Amino acid sequence: MDIQLANTFLTVLATKSFVSAAETLHVSQSAVSLRIQKLEDLLGKKLLERSKGGVTPTIFGEEFEEYARAFVQLWDETKYQVSLPDGFDNSLSLGCQDSLWPELSSVWMARMSEKKSNTAFNFQIAEHESLTRHLVRGSLDMAVLYSPEIRPGLNVEHILDDRLVLVSADNNFTDVSDGGYIYCNWGAEFGIAHARWFPGLKPPQLSLRIGTSMPQYLIQNGKSAYIPYRMADDYVADGKLHFIKNAPSFPFPAYATWALNKDLSKIEFALEELRVAAKDAPWIEL
């Protein structure tokens, strides 16, 4: 399949308009229409529906979207790998969840780039599911994740322990049954533990998954939620948030995850530097 076709399809989805997609791609509207028609002919399925409300994907278009994104991502990664800038003879593609960047992955990245000046590093911060997909498809060499999925072809090593702790910007907040509590989605394991610990809790009005933006949201709105200790400690030290005494905390370990078919020497180097960065990370004191 032509990469141009996949990219055009994704642009139409993003803009919800053939006209806007044409403007974004700097081509005519008829060129966009022809590309989509060619793609639909190639796949033998209708992918998009036009209406007064805009362009929407058909059921086949929804299914194809994930593959199109993977195809474009893999193509971009391939271009990156085979077109290294002058002065570089190797590359590493890495990633982490956003809450693992400030005190761990940023240190990890700095250590590696200093030691391997001839290596080009490509680092991304993304959601757990996105990082896992990139690992499986080979566009990432290694990622640091909370609660990684155990899949064939992937290897996992425990890196450090964190805990999910209950914090609040409201001095009167005492318990999750209070109206100011927000459920922050930290994955299936936390969801199960949370439900077991608070079996009678009614579903909170708000359920968010906004990563490192969560503390600021709590502060700005006077709300409360469970967040990783490493994310909370600086805000607590500054007096903007406070820990809720006697509230349960939940284990939240982080792991390195990598594909088994990757260059072993690159993986061993990245893994060793990650271990050192984790060892030097601030200790949790609850």
Question: pLDDT by residue (tens digit) across 21-36?
Answer: 999 899 999 999 999 9
Would you place residue 203 in the very low, low, confident or very high pLDDT band (cuts 50, 70, 90)?
confident
Is residue 14 included in any domain, yes or no? yes
Q: Spell out the residues 6+ positions from residue 236 whose beta carbon is closer than 8 angstroms to its own.
A: 167, 242, 243
Is residue 108 included in any domain, yes or no? yes
Do 235 and 97 share a structural domain? Answer: no
Query: What's residue 286's pLDDT?
Result: 45
Do 26 and 168 share a structural domain? Answer: no
Query: What's residue 152's pLDDT?
Result: 79
Do 260 and 156 share a structural domain? Answer: yes
Q: Spell out the residues 6+ positions from residue 47 whose beta carbon is closer than 8 angstroms to its own.
A: 9, 36, 39, 40, 57, 58, 60, 61, 64
Q: 66-124 pLDDT, tens per residue?
A: 888 778 777 876 776 666 667 787 889 999 998 898 889 999 999 999 999 999 898 99
Contact 139, 73 (CB under 8 A): yes
Query: What's residue 84's pLDDT?
Result: 67
Is residue 115 included in any domain, yes or no? yes
Do 63 and 126 share a structural domain? Answer: no
Do 134 and 183 share a structural domain? Answer: no
Do 260 and 155 share a structural domain? Answer: yes
Q: Spell out the residues 6+ positions from residue 87 whose beta carbon is closer than 8 angstroms to its own.
A: 118
Do 212 and 102 share a structural domain? Answer: no
Is residue 7 included in any domain, yes or no? yes
Q: 77-89 pLDDT, tens per residue?
A: 677 666 666 778 7
Q: 1-16 pLDDT, tens per residue?
A: 688 999 899 889 888 8
Do 271 and 141 share a structural domain? Answer: yes
* Number of domains within the chain: 3
Is residue 286 included in any domain, yes or no? no
Mean pLDDT of 222-240: 94
Do 142 and 114 share a structural domain? Answer: yes
Phi and psi torsions of 242, nearest 5° = -140, 150
Query: What's residue 247's pLDDT?
Result: 95
Do 246 and 177 share a structural domain? Answer: yes
Amino acid of residue 208: L
Write out the H or E segment, with its range, that includes residue 124: strand 119-125
Do 47 and 22 share a structural domain? Answer: yes
Q: 139-163 pLDDT, tens per residue?
A: 789 999 998 888 878 899 999 999 9
Query: What's residue 89's pLDDT?
Result: 77
- CATH code where residue 15 lies: 1.10.10.10
Is residue 118 included in any domain, yes or no? yes
Q: What is the model's pTM?
A: 0.69
Q: Spell out the residues 6+ positions from residue 246 whose beta carbon is closer than 8 angstroms to its own.
A: none
Q: Write down the mean pLDDT value for the chain.
A: 89
> Rounded to whole angstroms, how far apart are CA atoms 37 and 132?
32
Residue 15 falls in which region: left (phi positive, over 0), alpha (psi -120 to 50) or beta: alpha
Residue 230: domain span:
163-251
- CATH code where residue 268 lies: 3.40.190.10
Query: What's residue 140's pLDDT?
Result: 86
* Domain end marker among 81, 111, 138: 81
* Domain end marker among 81, 112, 134: 81
Strand ranges for 187-272 from DSSP E: 207-208, 224-228, 242-243, 250-251, 254-259
Is residue 182 included in any domain, yes or no? yes
Do 244 and 174 share a structural domain? Answer: yes
Is residue 126 included in any domain, yes or no? yes
Query: What's residue 237's pLDDT?
Result: 94
* Domain end marker among 81, 110, 132: 81
